[in-house]
Amino acid sequence: MLQRSLKRSLIGIRLRSFLIPLQELDWQLLLLTIGLTFLGGVMIRSAELNDGLTDWWSHWIVGGIGLGVALMIARSRYEALIQWHWIVYGLTIVSLIAVRFIGTDANGSQRWINILGFHVQPSEFAKIGLIITLAALLHAQPASTLKAVFRVLAVASVPWLLVFSEPNLGTSLVFGAITMGMLYWGNANPGWLLLMVSPIVSAILFSVFLPAWFVWMAIIAVISFRCLPWPFLGSLGALVVNGVCGKLGNILWGILKDYQKQRLTSFLDPDKDPLGTGYHLIQSRIAVGAGQLTGRGLNEGTQTQLQFVPEQHTDFIFSAIGEELGFVGCVLVLLAFWFLCLRLIIIAQNAKDNFGSLIAVGVLSMIVFQTVVNIGMNIGLAPITGIPLPLLSFGKAALLANFIGIGLVESVANHRHRLKF
């Protein structure tokens, strides 16, 4: 009896010693993350039910590992990463370069490294490395000057180019969203951010609708005149850059082959090629619409169970949710993501320093962009870019990277009070 009581007391002491450093944790954020991961496993199982696969177990196992990693990160003080941010950045670049030499090919892309039988995707963890690096840079020097903004862009451009050349368009877009979101939170002028993306808009409008391009050029001239340090020269430079990019975009569009153009524009009219580039979008929209208000029921969706939607357990998991859980299930998932993002904003606002606040905003930008684009392509409002739905889509590296990001934010929340001496 005495030994049993001693064992119980020791277990209680160890449990308290583990939980005491987590007293300030944001449990709402953590429970939402766990809940979405659990739902992801359920829907992955439904999408693969007739294939006999067990990816849903892997999703839960990796989620459990990620939860443990997140709690360990939350116990640690995130401020220590400030002095290690260049090492984190260096490891990020090295891992992305290593993909080009020892990476494995799949579907025409070289994105994975085989480590002890496991396929690791460095670009997923590079998102976290970029968030830490940019947070440290903007903590040291806010983006209130063009010099600071160009410094951030220069640092972010290296991993972006490496990921884009894999090729991995979806993840490279996430890098851009993270950079823009953190620059905005880091006190960059919104006009500067608009000017940064203006060449892309010009390239699209010049090729699609020329009158709209002239209107856009007028808007750019006004914005650059008002927000750049050299009004006349800045406006002239912005117009020249947008004009060149507009013409260049038109030339590049002409170089693309027909099937490449269809992949980029199929979401506008997928019925043009219903058995080719538009197949994914058509079947996904049918699945989402078939769910109606309350869904067909778990494991009862015809589109899902008869495998009409390719890659449904990864990029198109939201179509399975729409068919089997219906409009109600979709709304609940959207509300869960909305509340999760709200917790990230609250943590960013209440952080004790700019470094922690910027980390939270970086993770927020990553999750918001991926969620909006993924759901958009599931319902036919965005082109297929291969961006997974955070916490719900099957993907071990992506899920673990999301948990690491949540762990960093939880560390910010857990240590939001300043040290008292």
Q: Tell me the per-residue pLDDT of 174-233, one tens digit each, with 9 for 90 and over.
A: 999 999 999 999 999 999 999 998 988 888 888 777 888 899 999 999 999 888 888 888
Q: Say if 364 falls within a structural domain.
A: yes
Helix residue spans in 186-209 (DSSP H): 190-208
Is residue 113 in some structural domain? yes
Burial class of 137 by CB neighbour count within 10 A (0 to 12, 13 to 18, 19+): buried
Rg (CA), the chain: 23
In this prediction the pTM is: 0.89
Q: Is residue 216 part of a domain?
A: no
Residue 20 lies in a domain: no
Given a cut of 50, whether residue 92 has pLDDT beyond it is: yes
Residue 246 lies in a domain: no
DSSP, res 144: T
Instruction: Tell me the pLDDT tens digit for each residue of 128-173.
Output: 999 999 999 999 999 999 999 999 999 999 999 999 887 788 888 9
Q: What is the DSSP letter of 292?
A: T
Domains contained in the chain, number: 1
Q: pLDDT tens-digit profile of 39-79?
A: 999 999 998 887 777 788 999 999 999 999 999 999 999 99
User: What's the pLDDT score for residue 420?
Assistant: 45
Give the helix/strand (H/E) hosting 70. helix 55-75
Q: Amino acid letter at 345? A: I
Separation between Cα atoms, residue 343 and residue 28, nearest integer Å: 8
Which residues form the domain of 157?
26-188+256-414
Q: Is residue 245 part of a domain?
A: no
What is residue 317's predicted lDDT score, i.e. its pLDDT?
A: 93
Q: Let me know if residue 233 belongs to a domain.
A: no
DSSP secondary structure, 72-133, as one string: HHHHS-GGGGGGGHHHHHHHHHHHHHHHHHHEEEETTEEEEEEETTEEE-HHHHHHHHHHHH
Residue 408's pLDDT is: 96
Does residue 359 fall inside a structural domain? Answer: yes
